[in-house]
Amino acid sequence: METYFTVLLVSILLMSCCAAVENTNCTSDANCTTINSECDTSISRCRCGIRFYDSGTNCQPRGYNGEDCTDNVANSCLFTGQLVCKNDNKCSCPNTDTHYWDATSMTCKPKKPLGGDCSAAIECLVANSECATKCQCQVNIYDTDNADSGGTCEPFGGTSSEVSVGKELEANVTGLTPGVMYTITVISVDSNSRSAVQKTSPQPVNQATSMF
């Protein structure tokens, strides 16, 4: 009798580890009592519906992009092979730094460089960029390589001083220390049309301040 009870206990423990739905034989959906399950007549077994996954206890909804999922459960997101469940238990593209979710094709697509066609900012690859039919640098940010495509978007200033001169031909730069060599860079940005191509000047000009 002791042997019998031991085997029975092990069997009960093992049953809780198995799939909640797929253990049930069926000939029609009526045989599948778990909510959101259906009968796969090709194998005569119940299974969760196509938009659901077997959690081990019931059929849970599979997540769309940005929706909830269960980490480490491969099929808890819709569009297997495209969306994955991240550590925050949200469905997204495997690498959101380089790819974005395209709701039309239901696929993860590579983000676009500067000059690339776009319809939303999330499609643009470069930091500090935005979408205006093409990926371009944001206002007060300039394109570093002065080309139709590629490059990065860098802010004016940084550790230097910035002087906005508008349409003027001259600028008065204050706060300089006499006798110190400064690098002066002139950058021209079309802030009205916000075209993807933003012209920059030739090489920076080194200018020493007067001692007097």
- Residue that wins the pLDDT comparison between 86 and 172: 86
Give the predicted TM-score (pTM) of the model: 0.61
Average of per-residue pLDDT across 36-58: 91
- Alpha-carbon span 147 to 151, nearest angstrom: 7
CA 145 to chain centre: 25
Q: pLDDT value at position 174?
A: 76
pLDDT per residue as tens digits for the range 80-89: 899 999 999 9
- Alpha-carbon span 197 to 195, nearest angstrom: 5
pLDDT at 61 over 60: yes
To the nearest whole number, what is the mean pLDDT of the chain? 77
